[in-house]
Amino acid sequence: MYHLAGQLVRRVLQGLVVVLITTFLIFSILRIVPGDPVRLIVGGMAPDNLVEEIAEKMGLRDPIPVQFGRYLSEIARGDLGNSYQRPKNGMMGQGGDFNANMDVEMAEVSDLIFQTLPYTLQLAGLALLISLIVSFPLGISAGLKPKGVMSKISFFISSVFVSIPNFWLGIVLALFITIKLGLLPSIGYQNFAYTILPAIVLAVETCPFIIRTISVSFAEISQEYFIKSGKVRGLTRNGVIYRHTLRNASIPLLNLLGIQLSTLLGGVIVVEYIFDYPGLGQLTIYAVLQRDFPLIQGIAMVTSALYVGLNIAVDLITYSIDPRLES
């Protein structure tokens, strides 16, 4: 128990370092790449002296280490800053429409992020659920009989899924399912039904990796001595699968799920843009296009913290399944 607590503390500290490094890299890159966010704020016709005056007031002409130190002190107070482009009373509705007005108070970055994050988590969670529903029977069947028909079917499905570009699949599903058949909505968000088609697109990306991991794990563990001895002791085939094979195969699967869920959070950017889904991915695209420094920095920090948290949670679950992994 003490060793597990020590592992947890160590992983949390490592995670904080990862988040800090990621935030610093994004922070620095934004200030190195060409383009001035102040010019976008005041407009292209503003005189240069006005641009410089505003940039000085905003601290954007200070050295990068000075700016980053000031940013960290604000984070320590729980302040992620205010958006450069989005007014507080002009939060985007469906499609990212909002009324930018220089005379109004700008929206807080934390509000923008935590208003859109639940939509993205809902989308990623549903995509992962669909992936597991499809992948588990295919992967287990292929792993139990590596040379059987189901193994060939699983390989074929995985090959097809991994070859389909997500943007192409998203467009095809929207045209066929929504426009032609009228079965499911796909553009914007009004209720949970608007999450289904984007989730299917993300699930298609994830399924091949989960199927492969499950089939390989089951095939390897099925050859272990304790599995064969279980059959000799009189355990039924289903008993061996559920009591021994599935438990031991779950560890690599859990590790993969942690990676895939993190990948899903990153992969939503394209999918959310295609379906005009009001999540964190779409918010990221608009923030980058508008060079909204505080918003980009806040999104980078929050998403990296989510990645770290997911991996720590996966480690704790795998330790609880197999305590030998603590050593």
Q: Which amino acid, 301?
A: M
**pLDDT score recorded for residue 100:** 40
Q: What is the DSSP letter of 82?
A: E
What is the chain's pLDDT, residue by residue, as a tens digit (327 residues)?
556 677 778 888 888 998 999 999 999 988 888 777 777 777 667 777 877 887 888 888 888 899 999 999 999 888 888 888 888 766 444 333 333 434 557 889 999 999 999 999 999 889 989 988 998 888 888 877 777 888 888 888 888 888 888 888 888 998 999 988 888 898 889 999 999 999 999 999 888 888 888 887 777 666 655 555 555 555 555 555 555 566 666 666 677 677 777 677 767 888 998 899 999 989 999 888 888 889 999 999 998 888 888 888 877 777 766 655 554
262 residue type, one letter: S
3-state class of 106 per DSSP?
A: strand
What per-residue confidence (pLDDT) applies to 98?
33
Based on the fold, state whether residues 83 and 155 are members of the same structural domain: no
Helical spans, DSSP H, in 33-98: 37-42, 48-58, 64-76
**Encoded tokens for 64:** 């990068």
Q: How many domains does the chain have?
A: 2
For residues 197 and 155, state if they share a domain: yes
CA atoms within 13 A of residue 9's CA, in its CB half-sphere: 6
Residue 74: both structure tokens together:
């604000």
Query: Among residues 108, 135, 152, which one ends one of the domains?
Result: 108
Range of the domain at 52: 2-108
Residue 244 and residue 188: Cα distance in Å, rounded?
45
For 136, the token pair is: 């588990």
**In terms of domains, do 92 and 170 share one?**
no
Number of Cβ within a 10 Å radius of residue 20: 15
Which of the listed residues 108, 141, 174 is the one where a domain comes to its end?
A: 108
Angle of CA points 48, 49, 52, to nearest 5°: 85
How much is the pTM? 0.78
Q: How far apart (Å, rounded) are the C-alpha atoms in residues 207 and 257?
A: 11
319 and 226 belong to one structural domain: yes
Same domain, 137 and 266: yes
Give strand ranges (E) for the chain: 82-87, 106-108
Residues 123 and 226 in one domain: yes
Q: Domain of 259: which CATH number?
A: 1.10.3720.10
From the list 306, 275, 258, the residue with the least C-alpha distance to 121 is 306
- State whether 193 and 316 are in the same domain: yes
Q: Tell me, what amino acid is at 9?
A: V
Residue 223 shares a structural domain with residue 150: yes
**pLDDT of 247:** 62
**Are both 121 and 263 inside the same structural domain?**
yes
Check whether residue 12 and residue 29 sit in a common domain.
yes
User: Residue 131 is which amino acid?
Assistant: S
